[in-house]
Each structure stands twice: as C-alpha cells, then as structure tokens.
Amino acid sequence: MLDLEALPGLARADRARAVDTWLGGLLADAVAGTPPPKQRRGGPPPRTGTEGVALVAVGSLGRRELPPQGDLDLVLVHEGRPEIAAIADALWYPVWDTGLRLDHSVRSVPDAVSVGSTDVKAGLGLLDARLVAGDADLAARLRTATLASWRQAASRLLPQLRDLRRDRARLVGELAFLLEPDLKEAYGGLREGQVLRAVAAAQLGDEPGAELEQAYAFLLDVRDELRRRTGRPHDVLVRQEQRPVAVALGLADEDALLREVSLAGRRLAFVADETWRRVEAALVRRPRARYRRVRREPLAEGVVRQGDEVVLAQGAKPALDPGLLLRAAAAAARADLRLSPYTLKVLAVHSPPVPEPWPAEIRWSFLRLLASGRAAVAVLEQLDQEGLLARLIPEWNRIRSLPQRHPWHRFTVDRHLVEAAAAAAELTRDVDRPDLLLVAALLHDIGKGWPGDHSEVGEPIAAEIGARMGFAGPDVAVLATLVRHHLLLPATATRRDIDDPATIDRVAATIGHDPAVLQLLHALAQADGAATSASAWSPWKAHLVAALVARVQAKLGGPASPDPEPVLHPSEAQVIARPLGIAGAEGAVTVGIEDVADGQQVTIGAPDRPGLLSTCAGVLALNQLDVRAAKLSVTDGYGTSVFAVRPRFGRAPVPEILADAVRAALEGTLPLADRLRQREADYRQDGGRTAPPRISWHNGEVSGAATGIVEVRATDRAGLLYRLSAAIAGEGLDVTSARIETLGADAVDCFYVCNPSGSPVEPEQRRRVDAALVSATVGSEGADGLRPADTPGRFR
C-alpha cells in the first residue's frame, strides 16, 4: 500500500520509485484478477499476464518529477487484449480510492500516435512516456512511434505550441519579473523546460545544457517545497510562503529566493526565445534555401550580418580587439538583430578586458548600443546571459534579478535600468547631452544593490563607473548628480506645492542652479517613470513634473514656460449651484468640473466655515473619486476648494450629485462619517495590513501663509483624505493645500498647514496632531466619528 503521508517528504526520485512500485503491484493484481477470454476455435491462445499490456506514465511522473499532491497521468497501452476494459477498471478504482487525482486513458499504439499527431498537448505529454509496469516491448514501440510522429508533424504542431506559450505568457506574465510567480505556467517557468525538450525531440533544437537543467531543477525544488509546506496542488509562490520556502532551501530570505527564481526563469526564457527564433526560421525556410549561399553584409569593423543574425567577419580577431564586443553589440542593436549564439560564446571566451578608462571608440560603441532604444534590450540581455555585461560593469552583479517589492514595479532592478535606458533613447533629442542621459538612465538605481538610500549610495558608484567609462571630470560630476537626484522632480511635484516660491527655490538650489542638469533630470524622470509602470508615470504626474520644470526654468532664467498656468485653478466649466440652507449663511454651493490630464478637476465653492475642505474631500470619496491634489482659497468669507481627481471605477463625476451632497453634508443631513465607514467596509483595500503610519514634518520648505508641511504615509483606504484633514482641523490647524499620491496600496499625503494666528506649530501641538493622524489612519471610532463641522479650527 502506498504511504500517502510519507510521500511528500521523499526526494523526487524516491517519490517516483515508490509510486512506480505501487502502480506495478496494482497492474499485476488487476491482470491476475481479470479472467482471460475463452479461446476461439482455431484462434491463437489468449494472452496472459502482462503480455500485450503496458502501464505507461506521462507528464510529471513520466519525467520522474512528480511533486507533492501531483496528478498521476497514466496511459494503459494494450495490444490484442479483449479484456482490457476490465483490467483498466481494476487498475483505476484503487487509485481513485486513495484520493489521488488521476488523468487516465486506454489506448492502442496506433490510437495514441493518432491523438498525439493532432493534439499538441497530448503529443507533448506522450514525449515523456515511460514504462511503469507491463510489456516493455509494447512501451518501447509506443515511444518510438510517438517520436517519429512528433518529428513528422513538427511543422504543424510546433507553431501551435509556440502560440500556446505566448498566450499563456500574456495571461500569467514572465516568471523573472513576478513578485508572486507561477512556477509552472509563467513564461520562463517549468513549462519552458518541457517545451525545450520537445523541440529537441523534433530535432529542431539542441538538448538542454547543464546550466539550463540546473535552472530547471531549482524551480522543481522550489515547487516541491512550496507544495510540501502548503499541502495544496498550487504552483504560485505567494508572498506569505516565500520566507519559509527560502529557509527550507538554505537561502537567506525571501528576496534571495525570489532572486534565484528570477535568475532561473530568465535563463529558461532566454534559451526559449533563442530556440523559437531558430525554429521559426527553420520552419519558414524553403527546402532549396540550404543550398544557396547566405549573403554576408558588413555592419561594422569585424562584424557582418548573416541571415537574421550578427556574426564576426572572417578576419576578426576578438582576442586582439577589446572594442569588438561592444562594436558587435551596437551593430546588432542598430540593425534590430541578435548576435548569434556561437558569436556570443566566442566573444565570451576570447574578448580581452576593456582598458580603463575606456577609449573613446569603446565608449562611443556603448552609447550607440544604448541609443538603439527597444532593440538594445534584447542585445543587452544576450550580453547579460553570457556574463559579458558584468565584465563591462562589475557592479551589475549586485543588481542582477534583484526583486523590487513595490507592486507598481514591473521589472527587477537590472531589467528596469535597461528599460529606462531604452525609454531615454526616445528623449535624446530633447537634451543637450544625450550621452549623459543614456548612461544616467542605465545607472540611476545602481545603488539598490547596496544597503542604504539607493540615491545616496548610488551617487559615488555612478561616479566611479562614469570615470571608468572615460568621461571627463565635469561630466562625471553631472552623472553623479543625476543619480543622486533622479527622484527630485517627481517627488517634489507630487508632494509639494509647486506654486510655492520656496519649493522652486529649493529645487533650484539642489541642482546647483544649472539649467542643463534640470533638463537632464526632467528627461530622466520621464524615462524612469515609463520603465516602471503606467501608474508610476501617469499623464497627471507628467503634467505636474512639466509644470515644476517650467517654474524652475523661469527661476533660472531659462526659456519661458510653455505651460504657465497653475496646476490647480478655479474652473468655470459645468458650474452647478445649490442654495445652502444654513441660518446666517450667504451664498450657495457651486460645483464646476473640467477635464484635465488623466482625470478631472473639481472646483467646489461654498461659504467658508470650519472643516470645509475636509467635508468636500469626504463627499468626493463617497462618490468614488480619488484625490491627487487639493487647494483652498478664501475670499470675503467664501471658500473655493479645487481638487484634481480621478474616478476609481471609470465613472466621471456628476456636478449635480456633488453639489447636492456637499450642501447636505454642510447642513448636517448627510451623515458623512457613517457613510464613509460603510463605504470602507464595502471596498476594503488594506487586505489586513497593520503597518503603522509614518508621519514627518518639514519646516523651512514653505513660504506665504503656510508654516510647515506634514507628510503622512499610510495604507490607502476609502475616505483617508477626509479623516486626515479632519484630524488636522481638529487640532486647530488650517490646511492651505495638499498633495496626494497613491503608491500601490500606500498613500503619501502632504499637507501645507499653519495656525490661524500665524504662530509656528509648537512641539506639543505637533505631538497632538501626530496622535490624531495616527488615529485617523487606522479608522478608529474616534477618527471615523469625527465630524468636521464639530471641529473648533478653521480648515483651509
């Protein structure tokens, strides 16, 4: 009897051996317990024992890779056994009785071959066919016939298999860049190893090498440990299981595990890409083409194009030419081609070290490579997979496949840098020094491979690399500045009031009042955002950064701003007015809505009163509008609140609904706090996260009425801006403006605050504000029950 409890703890080979032994016994019992049919008069005697019957394993058991809680994929192959149905029933029922999942079929050899030649999934599975018990000659004939059929049908089946993998990759993603990767189905996962063996079986690709087999075996180890821990047949490496799996495999932590998974996945994906490229070329090539002489087109010194690949010229001498590596890579990228695998191996073995500092010709080739844009990504991946990129930039090894835990990052650190360089190549005409832009884009996050703030740590590393590349001293200083301050513009634009002269002065002082550095930082911010994700560089953020750059340019005496209008301005579009029925109040509630970059601008006017901005923010949250910036101005007792919003579910705001809701909230007929509490319960976003908020104060960075900035980093949730602004008002502070940014599941809200009396915020008052903000972020009863109308301070 099979010991199911002990099975997960066995090594893969032992697990397969135990299952084989058990199944072999089941087959023997099934055959022995099924009486043979009577002999026909004059016919051959009926077969007995396992003659003409073979139990064959396919799938993971066929490969001896059966994971814990894995399915048993079995084929009962027969030849000349009329009682095969009874044998099958006697075999399958004991398997079902154990609770194991079983995928089974009963086939003759011709039937199996016929199915495998028409169904690509069935054909792929039969390639793993392995005898478990029974007639060995019959199983051998099945395997021989399957291989012959697979090779004969390859031109029809392999394109189907390629399309299946590409469709799955679009649905699941690429293993190397997922924070919770599907170890089996993601592109670069276990399926890729199985597909590569199938391509080799069709004699259209090489057998997987030792390095590829090692990567595949590591992913098997991770999957086995994941299933062993969870007890479930799932292959997604979820976040909560990453640390215990890492510890079980002898790795330092979950980041080390994710990095190793990424490296393995990238290797499998890289080889798969190269294999499919060659398969496609082989399948479309006409029979006579192999007898034709392939044209060789010169691309650069020592580099030629041969077919759809770049190879070395006949007279090239890689051992004596240190510039050949980058010259070949640049030529391939410029022609939107790949270096041939053989050329890569030759360069990896024979290329000498690049002289330091780099000669101008080598640096120029490197810049040409980066300037090729999207075409450079694949070539840089080729260099990386052969270890050549790390030879050029040794620091690269520290960031190879380094995971980025923030959900809005699409890539690992190294791939993000390559993508940023590709995006920067589209902006080279917008700057005076495109060479510095390209290198800065490639190095801006290089500090993430070391402890500490990556911008600060990366500054001296980038300077060292720039000097090694042969840049002049002043250029090295600019590179270091770009890396140090690559987050300056987006962080300032989204978290500070860019209409405040103090904000502009601080940015100008930080960059050394150098318009050229400002220009490069603007392009670098665009490239960095584009390489991160769409949410990281939305049209709204691009508009904010451009507006900030225009103001700083004007401060530095540069060209006039192309967009001198303020980011938030009163709107006159679609104005809806509703009378406010409060005794002694004059005027009405007005709502104007205007379409702006990546959303709408909502302008709400109402008689000034305590908590006005907080009330308006609560109404917007109730109507499922995410606020990204807010400002309030008061003139002659009438307050105008301007909000930049984006609908959470794609529905544009309706001015009539907003006007009625604001009027009802100000009159007290709309229980805003209760409704927001219910909305939060209906659309909870925090997933149970309990991390405390971070609150920091920034004084000396403001001018005008505001006397300080309070920044709150907390888990995003419905009505957060309403509760935070109400908490500040409850401690007697006015808010003049706010900048709101959502980073995945977190929010970064910055409030410009001041005391109505004009006095600075004292430490004791600051402590009270901090406590109120903490209470507001956790949605406590006191914070949720806070009604802006009941607060004593004016909220501006």
Instruction: Tell me how far apart the alpha carbons of residues 630 and 795 are, in angstroms, rounded to a whole number.
Output: 13
Which letter, b or e, does each residue of 525-534 get, where b requires 16 or more Cβ atoms within 10 Å of its Cβ?
bbbbbbbbbe
Q: What's the pLDDT at 86?
A: 94
Torsion sign (Cα): 338, 342, 343, 347: positive
Q: Which DSSP helix (H) or strand (E) runs through 508?
A: helix 501-510
78-82, 133-137, 776-780: the lowest-pLDDT one: 776-780
Contact 576, 563 (CB under 8 A): no
pLDDT tens track for 166-180: 898 899 999 999 999
Share of the chain above pLDDT 90, in %: 63
- Strands 296-300, 625-635: pairing is unpaired
pLDDT reading at 81 higher than 90: no
The model's confidence at residue 761, banded by pLDDT at 50, 70 and 90, is confident
Q: How confident is the model at residue 185 (pLDDT cuts 50, 70, 90)?
A: very high
Q: Check pLDDT > 90 for residue 538.
A: no
Q: Which residues contact 139 (CB under 8 A, 6 or more apart)?
A: 54, 56, 77, 129, 130, 131
Residue 81 to residue 134: CA distance in whole angstroms: 13
The average pLDDT across 772-794 equals: 54
Over the stretch 247-296, which tens digit does the pLDDT of each residue have? 999 999 999 999 999 999 999 999 999 999 999 888 875 445 455 566 78
- The CA-based angle 767-771-777, given to 5 degrees, is 140
Tokens, residue 547: 């507006």
Give the per-residue pLDDT at 705: 64
Return the pLDDT at 479: 98
Nearest C-alpha neighbor of 638 from the set 577, 585, 566 = 585
Average pLDDT over residues 630-656: 85
* Alpha carbon distance 447, 396 (integer Å): 10
- Give the confidence band of 21 by pLDDT, cuts at 50, 70, 90: very high
pLDDT at 781 over 50: no
Q: Note the pLDDT tens digit of each residue in 339-359.
A: 999 999 999 999 999 999 999
The answer on pLDDT for 646 being more than 90 is no
pLDDT over threshold 60, residue 659:
yes
Side by side, which strands form the sheet with 638-647? 576-579, 588-596, 599-607, 638-647, 625-635, 734-743, 746-754, 708-715, 694-698
Q: Is the pLDDT of residue 553 over 80?
A: yes
Q: What pLDDT does residue 564 have?
A: 46
Burial class (CB in 10 A: 0-12, 13-18, 19+), 758: exposed
Question: Which helix H or strand E contains 254, and what residues bound it?
Answer: helix 254-284
Q: Which of 440-444, 446-450, 716-720 has the lowest mean pLDDT?
A: 716-720
Q: For residue 648, is pLDDT > 90?
A: no
pLDDT surpasses 60 at 94 = yes
In whole angstroms, give the CA distance from residue 96 to residue 431: 69
- Looking at every residue in the chain, the average pLDDT score rounds to 88
Q: Look at the block and give the residue holding tokens 């006949």.
A: 314
The amino acid present at 58, given as its one-letter code, is: V
Confirm if 432 and 515 have CB atoms less than 8 A apart. Answer: no
pTM, entire model: 0.85
Q: Are 540 and 626 in contact (CB under 8 A)?
A: no
Mean pLDDT value across residues 559-564:
52
pLDDT digits (tens, 9 = 90+) for 319-338: 999 999 999 999 999 999 99
Q: What is the mean pLDDT of residues 393-398?
A: 97
Tokens 């190549």, located at residue: 425
CA distance 414 to 531: 11
* Rounded distance between C-alpha atoms, residue 631 and residue 734, angstroms: 12
pLDDT confidence bin for 796, thresholds 50/70/90: very low
Q: Which has the closest alpha carbon to 779: 684, 646, 696, 671? A: 684
- The rounded distance, in Å, linking the Cα atoms of 16 and 7 is 9
635 strand-pairing partners: 638
Question: Which pLDDT value is given to residue 247?
Answer: 97
Asked if 439 and 469 count as a contact pair (C-beta separation under 8 A), the reply is: yes
* Confidence at residue 42, expressed as pLDDT on a 0 to 100 scale: 59
Domains and CATH numbers, the chain: 7-36+47-152 (3.30.460.10), 156-287 (1.20.120.330), 394-555 (1.10.3210), 576-790 (3.30.70.260)
